[in-house]
Every structure is written in C-alpha cells, then in structure tokens.
Chain A
Amino acid sequence: MSRVKTLIITGFGINCEVETAAAFKLAGAEADIIHLNDIFLRKYSIHKYDIITFPGGFSFGDDLGSGKVLANKMKYKHLVSGKLFLDELMDFLFDGKYILGICNGFQFLVKMGLLPNINGDLSQEVSLTHNDSARFEDRWVYCKVTQNLKSPFLRDIDVIYLPVRHGEGKLVIKNERIKIEILHNNLNCMSYCSNDGIITSEYPHNPNGSELNCAALTSTSGQILGMMPHPEAYTSLYNNPNWAQWKRKDPEISEEGEGLKIFRNIVEHIKYKKD
C-alpha cells in the first residue's frame, strides 16, 4: 500500500491545524503541519505531498475580510525562489493532486480565485461574507451532498451532520452566469438541509443565509474542495453534541464521527490512484 502524505498549512492565526492533522492520521495518512513561512522563506517544497489542507482559524484576525490577507500573500508575495506560491499551487494541481480548505481555508480559496474558478482565470467569482445574523455562530448543521460529482472527497455521503463555526460563511455569487455555471456543474456540492435531508434556506438549518444554501464548493475537476463546516471536529462519536442519546438508542454505534468519512474518502482515493 502506498503512503498518502498530507501537508497541513499553519501560521498567522490559523488554528485548526492540530485536529485536522489528527483527522488525516486517523484516516491512514501521514500529516505534516508546516508554517507558511517555511514555504515562503525556507524553500520548503509542497510537491512531496499528495494533498494540501488549509485548515480553519482566523488568519490575520479576519481583518479586511476573512481569508483576504492570506489570499493576497499567496497571490502576490514571492517565495525566496522567486516564484509565486499561487504558481506552485497550480503546478501541484497540474500534477493531479488535491487541495482541501475548511472554513477559513475555504474563505481563502475563494478569495484567491481558486474556487470555483469557472472562467479558469483565477479571478474572484464568489465571496464568503458576514452571516445574515451578523454574528459568529457555533452550531451543528445537516448538509445534503449533491451526488455524481468528480469530487472524491464526498463519495458515498448523502447527508452529513457537522459543526459550523464562523461569522463569515454566507456565499455571495458574483452574477447570474456564475450561479448558473455552479449549478450546471454541480459545484455546490454540499447544501444546508433539515435533519431529514431536505435542502432549506430556513435559519438555523441554513446558518448564514448562503446563496443556493451552499455549504461547500468543489472545483470542476473535483481536485479542490472548500467547505464551511468542520469535518475535522467530528472524527469521534463523542464530538457529536447528541452522542449520549445516540449511544443509548444504539449501544453498538460506531465510535467514529461522520466527518472522518471525508478524510477517509480522499486518502483512500489517493491510495487507489497510486497503487
């Protein structure tokens, strides 16, 4: 069996790197947590990895808008090699590899133009901004997965229960054309729904007022997934706020959390591809 190597980016206020690395390890991958400046200043190569993850957190304190300052750093700041980090990422994708962005990581992928990138020119096509409640909220939501995707991340998942923890998670789409393209290509791969799996805009099922009730976006190739909910925060049954009633109902219930499935999917997919 091949090894799957994951690069977890940290620094500048990112704060979910440890549990994200733990999730990948539980899913059978190797995970290295690397400070962004080790890539910018110390020539640390991203190319020895199979997947790069941008975890959740508050990079630059959400100043100037969530993910914004980090996105600009990646887009404009030169590495010591003279290249742009963005170009490195494009090479990484060209090699058929994968990128996962969770919460702040998703915000930053969107602001960098990597998601959804329908026009293919890395211009910003959507944004993630203040929730309709104008508040940061930590709550658990159900998400319906849109099937028949190229995305290996969400295979065999229909409805998934996960926590959201954000103040800026409302997806705003630049124009009607982009919206149609997103729908047409099934890029809105996870939608907020009620507990019986029906997609809804009703608060708090849709916690932020997102357009299309969208909780996650994938790139057309399926190589990039950006999601607002936190799968790394549900790798154990005991992360679930209702674990006690669930366990009572089914004493034999698996001690694994639903979020782990996403990590297993991608790790197994890469293993399969490599073998």
Chain B
Amino acid sequence: MKDQVQLVLKDSIRDVRGEQVAARVKNYLGYDTGIIRTGKVYTIMYDLNKKDLKQFAQTGLADEILHDIYINAFYKDSFYRSYILISKLPGVTDDEGMSAQKTLSDMMGMEIDTATQNIFSHDVYYFGNKLDREELAEIAEKLLGNPLIHHFEYGKSLKKVEYIPLVRIKKPDKPDVINIFEDDEELLRLSRDMLLSLNLQEMRAIKSYFKQDQVMQSRIRRGMPANPTDCELEILAQTWSEHCKHKEFNAVIHYRNLETGEELEINSLFETYIKKATQIIMERLEKTGNNWLLKVFNDNAGVVRIDEDTVFVWKVETHNSPSAIDPYGGAITGILGNNRDPLGTGMGGAKLIFNTDVLCFGPLDYNKELLPGQLHPRTVFSGVRHGIEDGGNKSGIPTVNGAIIFDERYSGKPLVYCGTGGIMPSRVLESRTWEKRISAGDIIIMAGGRVGKDGIHGATFSSAEIDENSPQSAVQIGSPLTQKLLMDFMQEAVQLGLIRCSTDNGAGGLSSAVGELAKISGGALVNLEQVPLKYTNLKPWEIFISESQERMILVVTDDKKEILFKLAADREVELSDIGTFTDTGFLDVRYNNKRVALLDLEFLHEGVPQKMLEAEWIKPDLEEPQLPEITDYNKILLDLLASDNICSRESVIRQYDHEVQARTVIKPLMGPEGKAAQDAAVLRLTYDGFEGIAVANGIHPRYGDIDPYQMSAGAFDEAVRQIIAVGGCLPEVTEASNRFWSVNDNFCVPDSVYDPVTNTDGKLKLAKLVQMNQALYDMSTYFNIPMTSGKDSMKNDFRSGYAKISVPPTILYSMVAKIDDVRKSVTGEFKASEDLVYLLGRTHDELGGSEFYRLFGQLGANVPVVRKEKAKWLYKKIAKANELRLLESCHDISDGGMLTTLAECCIGSGLGADIWIDGFQDIPLNVIMFSETHSRFIVSVKQENRQTFENIFVHDGIFLGQITDSPILTVSYGKKIIIESSIEDMTKAWDKGLEK
C-alpha cells in the first residue's frame, strides 16, 4: 500500500532552483534546456485514509502559497517536453523523508514508526525543451545527482513513480570461520576477497598468532574455533588499517639523501619527529610554568588550556577518497565526522565554535578527457562546497576561514581538509573534562543514528587506491540534523554529569570506538543484537564495523543510566545499551548470546607488524627560467589577481555561515564592501569578555616540487605569520604567559611505498615525506608550537587502468593561538588615506614556485627559504608595535608576492595607494614585486607614528608610499609609473577568477 503526493511550484512563483539548473546546464554542458520547473514527489508507505492523506499533503508537506498539490496523480503541462526523476538508492540517507514522517506523527497524533524510512522523497525536473535520453542522463549524472547514490528515470511526461528504494537483504548465513592456516598465496587471496587491505606480512602475523598453542587452547576453552571468525578478521583489518594504525608513519624507514650522502634509519616518523618535538616543547613549557598543554596524541583531539575555567579542543582531518567519488557526501560526512572528534574528546560534549576547511582541487577549466570513474574538478568543487555549506550551516558552526588550492594533480583525488575547534569547561562536578576514565562495569551506550551497511570497509577503502570498481558502500551522506540533536543532547548530558566519557564512531565503526576505549578499562563485552538497525538482516560483523554516521559511544555508570535515557527520550535522541566495559583483557563480541569474536586486546592493538620502507632523496634538476621582457605590468597584476590560486573566494565564503554564534571578530571577508580577505580568523570566546583565539592555515604544495623541506617549513611559517599579522604574540618559554599555541599537522601524500612496477618513484616520494617531517620538527621546536593532533592520509592516488593521477605531497599546518584582547586585533585592509605603507621583512630572489612564474608556465629553482631566526626576530617586533598600537593594517605576503598583497589591501579598503619602489638596493624589479619570500608583511602606519615605528623596525621596514583617497594603485619604479590600476579594475579581475 502506498500513496504519492507531488508538489510543484505555482505558476506565479519564480522557480529559482530551476533557473539555476538551466544556467548550470548551459554553462557546463552547453545544452539549452528551456525553462525548468522543479517538483517533489513523496512516496508514503504508511496506511492513511483519504482525509488524512489530503490533510497531510496540504498542511504537512505543501506550502499553500507556493505549491500546487497532486495526490496520487502527477503534474501535467504540455509545455514541458522532457523530465528527469531522481530517487535515492536503497539505504541512502533521506532526511527530508524522515522529517516528513515526524511532521506526520506530530500532525495526526499518530504512534507510527518514524525511526525507519517510510516516506521517500524524489526530485522531478521538467524541461521546456525536448532533450534526448543521453542528454538527460548527462544532466542527471553530472549536475543533478550521482549514480552511486541516486536512481534516475527519464522521459517525456511523468505519469508514475514506481521506484521505491526499500532495502532488501536476504537473511544472513551463520557466522563464518575463516581458515587462515593456509599458504601465502591463499592468505593474500583472502585479504583481497574479503577487502581486508592487509598485506602478506600482516596476514602471516594473524596466522601465527592463532596458531600459537596457548592461544588455541584458550580459544577452545572459551568455546571459540581455532581459526578466526569473519568478525574477528574484520575487526583486525579495521584496527590494523592504515587509517587507524598509521603504519607508514610508524614504519622503519631507511633514508638516503643522495644530495648530501646522509643516511638515516628512522624508527617511526611519528615518534622521531612529531611526538618528540611536542615532548621537547612540553618540557620547555612546563619548566617555565606554562601549563597549558593538557593533552596530546592520545584522544580524538588534543586539548590546551585557555584559562582556569575553560579548555580548548580541536582537530583537523581529511576526507579525500569519499569526496573523490561523491563530493557532496564525502565533504558533509567529512565535516560532521570531524566535528565528532572534539565532541568525543575527554568527557565529550564540547561546544563547537568553528570549522575551518582547506580544499585542493584540479583546475576548474580542466580539459583533459576524464578517466573512467573520475569526476570533473568542477563537479568535485561544487559538490564539496555544498557539503561544507550544509555540514557547517545546519550544525550552527561557523566556517570561519580556509583555503582553496588548484593544481592539476588534484584532479584525480581532491584533498578535503576539515577542521573544528570547541571549548569545554575545565571541570564538571570536580572531574577534569579532558580526561577519559573508564572502569570495569561501566555501560557502553550507543547514541545517535542507526546502523546500516553504510561505509562498510570505509577505513580499508581510504587506505587503498580508488578504481572504477570502488564498492558502493563507500558512499555515505551525512545527516546534519541527526548530529545536531545528538550534539545538543551530549552537551546537556555532560554538563549534568551524566556521562563519564565518550568517543565518536568514525572509521571502523563500533569495532574501533569500543576497541579503543576497551584499552582504558582492560576489556569490553558487546551485545550486537542490541544495536538498532536501519533495516534487518545485517550480519554481526557488518553491525560491528559499519560506519553509519552520526553516532557516539557514551560511557555511563549504572546509577546514571535511567536519567540519561530519560533525557535522551526528551531530546529525541536514540540510545541503546550495547554492553559493558570489563577488565578481562578481551574484546568479547556476542550476537544473541553467542560469541562472534573474542580477541586479546594486546594482540589487537600491538600485534600489527612494523613496516620497513625505503626512502631516497635525489635533488631535482631545476633552473631559473628566462622570461620575456615584461612591458605591461598592469596586465600582469590583473592576470595574477584573476589566477586560480589568488582570486577572490567570495562566492564560496558567502555561502558558508561564518557568523553564527556571533563570535567572529576577524571574518574571512572584512572592510566597507566585504571584499577584504584576511590572514587569520579571530573569534571571541565569551559575550562579555574579550579573550579570543586566532585560527590560521599554512599550505604550499607547489614549493614541494622544488624542495619538500622548504615547502613544509614555509607552510608552517605561513600559519605562524598569519596569526602574527592579526595581532598574535609568539609563545613564551622564558616566563609563564600561559598564552597557548597549537598546531595540527595534516599530511596528504601519494603512495610512497616503492614498487618496481606500480610505484617506481616511491622512494623519492617517501624521501619527500621524511623531509617534510624534518622541517616540521625544526620549525615547531624553534617556535615552541606543539602539535596537539594531526593526521596522515597516505594513498592519494587515483588509478584507472594503467593511468594514475597522484597528488603532490601536501602538508597543511592549521594553527590556533590565544589572543588576549580581540579588540586589539589588526585586519589586513588599509584604514585611512595618508597613512604610510611599509614592507616588513627582507625580500630575496625567490621566485621559484611562485604564482608569477606559474603565469608563464614555469616552476623555477629558487624556492622561498624560511629564515626562522630572522622571522622570529621580526614577529617579536610586530608584537611590540601592536602593543603600542602602531599598525593600522597588517597583511602577510604569500601567493603572488608583494604587488598582489598591496592590491588586496586596496581592494579590501576602497582606498588607493601611491607606491615608490626604491630602497631595495639592487634587487631586480620582478623579484621585488613577485617573489614569495616568507615572513613578510605589508603594513600601514599613521604619519604621526612614523618615528616610533621606524625606531622599532629600522632596516626591517622598507618605506613604500602612502595611502590615497583616490581609488587607484600606482607603483613607480625609478622615474617611471609601471602600475596604474583602479580598484574597480582590480576588483573585477579578482572577482571573476572562479567563474570558470
């Protein structure tokens, strides 16, 4: 029994979505669709009588001002000559249908099952022009949906909708026992067939563990077979996945530098560089009474102290592989998933106060033929952007800043970095909120969404290369509404002292979440039949490793359980008691009282064999290019402003809510017309105080083509200097300032494991990774900025047949620092005419990897080199100048060099500037204008402060000119005016960059 209701916009209502689709089809595919009319169809599986159905349609679903309603009938108008119907595939999140169910229950006062999908939503597009099937299919698959999650129907006129995405799975057989006492070939086949993504060495380790006499006897005693069950193998595969165990970052690496002859044996990049650096910094901080570094590396996110009463928790992650195949779903689950990290740190329930997102895409005008399974960068860009919009906006978390980088090598796999920060009170009922405490006997509660087949093998999938046969279960769509309810509930429950601690369900699902927490108490017992499902007939191991979204694990003591469940019912959040923590030393998993897995925690967590890898550095053979003589610098300026990596991100930023919670003091766009791009975001922490934080991101993949060490060091410096620019002060290790700084390091690299056939330059790639880590160590210990969390994503290659598109080795440093008084922060745009303009920091002949060279299709050799001693010296002077309120504006110099930065200061302020280039001695003009030398700033100063300013900076500040009311940027060199460009022209160029 089913009913259908269709809603179509009334003739009098402008169909803006239809117009938008028509324009996109025209721009991207070149078809003229004619006028497009959009509609919705709801398939209702509940039994409703005619009267109720009519009332539900009229008041529940339709807006009487906007819609015409058709009940068990469909809109007809001969004006429209073709249509596309889009339904979701079985099991794909359908929030709209779910909300319709809730409103039905509210309206009719009906006790109906609203937790499983009973109303399905479909979208209809009617086209004025007659389009053939191929054209409709192209529109549907490229612009309106994705075949991995959608079902499409096409035709002339819609007469019926028969497709209903009900999930049907046949009843599973009883749990399997997998014979692993086999030879190597069979072990590899098992790993491949079961999608375990375990290598031979790892399969052998499992085999020899199960073969041990002691293990066998112990298993038999406990009623388990000698061989592992399917569930046990799946748990091992999840726990040992690259995603969870970071096997390459923990490998033994034999590193040879053929440039210097240096040879090194590195026992774990993580231990040697990241962890060690943070430990050194921690010691220095603690020695001087700086006690703000509270938690590093051993929870979902790191924690630092803001003040006596409040702590700050944050994490940056990537969601690259899912975004490559379903950009919208990949990005939204990326955001929501990353939100759950700070939300599930310590006790949990942090108030999330910002998102920051850094995205790397192929160029929007990519014109190579697409490989099977490869999406056009434009499709990826628009889907990812939309996912970030919904993920942030619908959760009430402002997206405060970010970056977008274009490079052809991201056209196979994009990089989608999602960062989230939150605040927690430092104590709840006398307990420290950042600590995780669990005792045997504590109850395991699953909270939030239900479990389906979503993302099964997701963790293993992201560790493998994508190919055209990537399994569909890898795609998931997040439900921001489900998570918002869960998040609000958790915040409330934690404040009430109902939750002991919590963690998120991410990669590996329950198996990882419970498996990790079980380490604290020393064991866990899980009853899988207690886990609520989206649909029946899931196998036990599927329930245990499913990555269905919007779920958290809450650890609760028995006396709090009842009141917690009551609160959850009031907040419409589903909770289930799925087991208890124990101290047996085992992860004990049961289904209807029958054991399906019994794994020794020590073997589970420590049994994975260490990898041995080879790295070999060969310096690339590069030289500086010979450029044609430049006659028209105005054109170069406008070309730079319009280039991919420099142009305005306004069209993207405006679609992100960057102000919800009313904390942002420096927003991504400032100034009189909202055109002033800023270096770092500044947020206020309370509504009656002025303490705040600054958030910045440093990323420079192009420099890595010349020198990965300098690329990594430069990205680190960029993040530091952006915070300096907005008014930050470097952390002190000489006195107790208790002003925290924290960095999240995020490595995204191509497959860096050498293989003589499939990855011939693997050793070089790994050497690059080593150098990136060396720079991280040198920079962080020099500036005393600890890595409080981080992430690595190791297989960013897109393969299709023999073709492979690999990302360039990329590192993102995301940084947050405490700001004492947000009212004293400094924005980048100019403030008033007649102020004096200065360049701070020395310029070097470093055009290698610059945007200027890129205009000419050149790479060059002289990469910007970080001079950290000089940088620190300058940053301290800037802090001093800010203390005296000398800087009216401060904008860091990065992509495009000095000229681009000057132009941005003008565009953002509506003010012009007269710039004279002298005082650079014999540095060539192109270098002065376009070199991207690090650690430099454009600042402006009131005339009356000139002397005080120059006394502080002396030779570190070069006088450039003066700000003018006339809206023109003029640059003179010698006696010649080489640039004369109006703000209008510059803005026009800058604004149009993303319109490809």
Chain A positions near chain B (C-beta within 8 angstroms): 10-13, 15-16, 18-19, 22, 25-26, 35, 37-38, 41-42, 56-58, 60-65, 68-69, 72-73, 75-78, 111, 124-127, 129-140, 163, 165, 172, 174, 209, 230, 232-236, 238-239, 241-245, 248-249, 255
Asked whether B107 is an interface residue with its Cβ less than 8 Å from the other chain, the reply is yes
- 29 residue pairs from A and B, CB less than 8 Å apart: A12-B485, A13-B394, A15-B395, A19-B687, A58-B393, A58-B394, A58-B484, A60-B99, A60-B102, A60-B481, A62-B394, A64-B103, A68-B63, A77-B106, A127-B65, A134-B19, A134-B20, A136-B393, A136-B655, A136-B657, A138-B654, A163-B659, A232-B662, A234-B662, A235-B687, A242-B672, A243-B665, A245-B672, A248-B831
Taking CB as reference atom, which chain B residue is nearest A137? B654
Considering the complex, give the chain B residue whose CB is closest to the CB of A40: B570
Q: Please give the distance in Å from B751's CB to the nearest CB on chain A.
A: 38
Pairwise interchain contact B571-A61, C-beta atoms closer than 8 A:
no
Cα-based distance from A15 to B830 in the complex (angstroms): 34
Shortest beta-carbon contacts, A-B, top 3: A15-B396, A63-B99, A22-B687
Decide if A57 touches B488 in the complex (CB within 8 Å): no
Q: Does B832 contact A (CB under 8 A)?
A: yes
A13 touches B485 (CB 8 A): yes
Stretch of B156-164, B283-291, B338-346, B821-829 contacting A (4+ beta carbons < 8 Å): B821-829
B571 with A35: CB separation less than 8 A:
yes
Least CB separation from B109: chain A residue: A78
CA distance A172 to B670 in the complex (A): 31
B residues 639-659 touching A (CB-CB < 8 Å): 653-659
Complex: chain B residue closest to A208, CB-CB:
B16
Q: Does any Cβ of A come within 8 Å of B661's Cβ?
A: yes
Q: Indicate if the CB atoms of B570 and A42 lie closer than 8 Å.
A: yes
Q: A64-B96, A174-B65 are in contact. Are A238 and B684 (CB under 8 A)?
A: yes
With most chain B CB atoms within 10 A of its CB, the pick from A72, A132, A137, A238 is A238
* B803 lies within 8 A of chain A by Cβ: no
| A69 near B99: Cβ-Cβ < 8 Å | yes
B480 contacts partner chain A, Cβ-Cβ < 8 Å: yes
Q: Is the CB of A37 within 8 A of B571?
A: yes
Return chain A residues, CB-CB under 8 Å to B671. Answer: 241-242, 245
User: Do B63 and A111 have beta carbons less than 8 Å apart?
Assistant: yes
Is the interface on chain B under 10, 10 to 19, 20 to 34, or 35 or more residues? 35 or more
Are B570 and A22 touching (Cβ within 8 A)? Answer: no
Are B480's CB and A76's CB within 8 A? no
Residues 60-118 of B at the A interface (beta carbon under 8 Å): 60-61, 63-66, 95-96, 98-100, 102-103, 106-109
B271 CB within 8 Å of chain A:
no
Chain B residues with Cβ under 8 A from A18's Cβ?
A: 661
Of B14, B16, B655, most A-chain CB atoms within 10 Å: B16
Residues of A within 8 A of B655 (CB): 135-138
**Quick check: is B577 within 8 A (CB to CB) of the other chain?**
no
Closest to A232 in B: B662
Interface residues, chain B, CB within 8 Å of chain A? 13-14, 16-17, 19-20, 59-61, 63-66, 95-96, 98-100, 102-103, 106-109, 389, 393-396, 479-481, 484-485, 488, 570-572, 653-665, 667, 669-672, 674, 684, 687-688, 822-823, 826-827, 829, 831-832, 888-889, 909
**Chain A: CB-nearest residue to B399:** A138
Contact B667 A241 (CB under 8 A): yes
Minimum CB–CB distance for B484 against chain A, Å: 5
CB-defined contacts of A236 to chain B, threshold 8 Å: 662, 684, 687
Given contacts A137-B655, A233-B662, contact A126 B65 (CB under 8 A): yes
Residues of the B chain whose Cβ atoms lie less than 8 Å from the Cβ of A174: 65
CA distance A163 to B670 in the complex (A): 13
Query: Given A248-B831, A248-B832, is A63 in contact with B20 using a C-beta cutoff of 8 Å?
Result: no
Extra contacts besides A73-B106, A126-B65, A134-B17 (6): CB < 8 Å: A11-B485, A22-B687, A136-B389, A239-B662, A244-B826, A244-B889
Which residues of chain A are near B17, meaning CB under 8 Å?
Answer: 130, 134
- Contact present for B103 and A131 (CB under 8 Å): no
Max chain B Cβ within 10 angstroms of own Cβ: one of A10, A58, A64: A64
Known: A130-B16, A235-B687, A241-B667. A138 touches B656 (CB 8 A): yes
In the complex the two chains form, what is the Cα distance from A213 to B209 in whole Å? Answer: 73
Question: Are A10 and B488 within 8 A (Cβ)?
Answer: yes
Residues of A within 8 A of B16 (CB): 130-134
Q: Which residues of B contact A42 (CB under 8 A)?
A: 570
- For residue A5, give the distance in angstroms from its CB to the closest CB of chain B: 19
Contact for A64 among B61, B64, B688, CB less than 8 A: B61
Residues in B whose Cβ lies below 8 Å from that of A77:
106-107, 109
User: Do B103 and A239 touch (CB < 8 A)?
Assistant: no
B687 touches A11 (CB 8 A): no
Minimum C-beta distance from A80 to chain B (A): 11
Would you give the shortest CB distance from A190 to chain B, in whole angstroms?
19
State the CA gap A136–B652 with chains docked (Å). 10
Complex CA distance for A7 and B832, rounded to whole angstroms: 44
A241 near B674 with CB under 8 A, answer: yes
Q: Assuming the A-B contacts A129-B63, A133-B16, A140-B674, are A241 and B662 also in contact, with contact meaning beta carbons closer than 8 angstroms in the complex?
A: no
In the bound complex, CA of A40 to CA of B687 (Å): 30
Complex: A205 Cα to B96 Cα, angstroms? 32
In the bound complex, CA of A266 to CA of B832 (Å): 37
Cα distance, A140 to B650, chains bound together (Å) = 13
- The reply to whether B13 and A22 contact each other, CB–CB distance below 8 Å, is no
A250 to B11, CA, bound (A): 51
Complex: A15 Cα to B395 Cα, angstroms = 7
B19, B98, B660: the one within 8 Å of A16 (CB): B660
CA distance in complex: A255, B63 (Å): 42
On chain B, the residues within 8 Å of A57 by CB distance are 396
A244→B666 CA distance, assembly (Å): 10
Identify the closest chain B residue to A130 (Cβ).
B16
B829 touches A244 (CB 8 A): yes
Residues of the A chain whose Cβ atoms lie less than 8 Å from the Cβ of B669: 241
* A69/B571 in contact, CB under 8 A: no
Whether the pair A248, B888 counts as a contact (CB closer than 8 A) is yes
- When the two chains form their complex, are residues B687 and A245 in contact, meaning their CB atoms are under 8 A apart? no
Q: Which residues of B contact A19 (CB under 8 A)?
A: 660-663, 687
With both beta carbons as reference points, the residue of chain A lying nearest to B64 in the complex is identified as: A124
Which residues on the A side are within 8 Å of B571 (C-beta)? 11, 35, 37
- A143–B571 alpha-carbon span in the complex (Å): 37
Chain B CB count within 10 A is highest, among A12, A41, A140, for A12
Out of B60, B481, B674, B823, name the residue touching A255 (CB < 8 Å). B823
Which of B64, B98, B657, B665: most chain A CB closer than 10 A?
B657
Query: In whole angstroms, what is the CA distance A174 to B67 when docked?
Result: 12
Among A41, A69, A241, the residue within 8 A (CB) of B102 is: A69
- Which one of A56, A125, A172 has the highest number of Cβ atoms from chain B below 10 Å of its Cβ? A172
CB-defined contacts of A35 to chain B, threshold 8 Å: 488, 570-571
> In the bound complex, what is the Cα–Cα distance between A242 and B908 (angstroms)?
10
Minimal beta-carbon separation of B99 from chain A (angstroms): 3
In the complex, the answer to whether B909 meets A245 with C-beta atoms within 8 Å is: yes
Q: Is B659 a contact of A233 with CB atoms below 8 Å? A: yes
Complex contacts, A38 vs chain B, CB 8 Å: 570
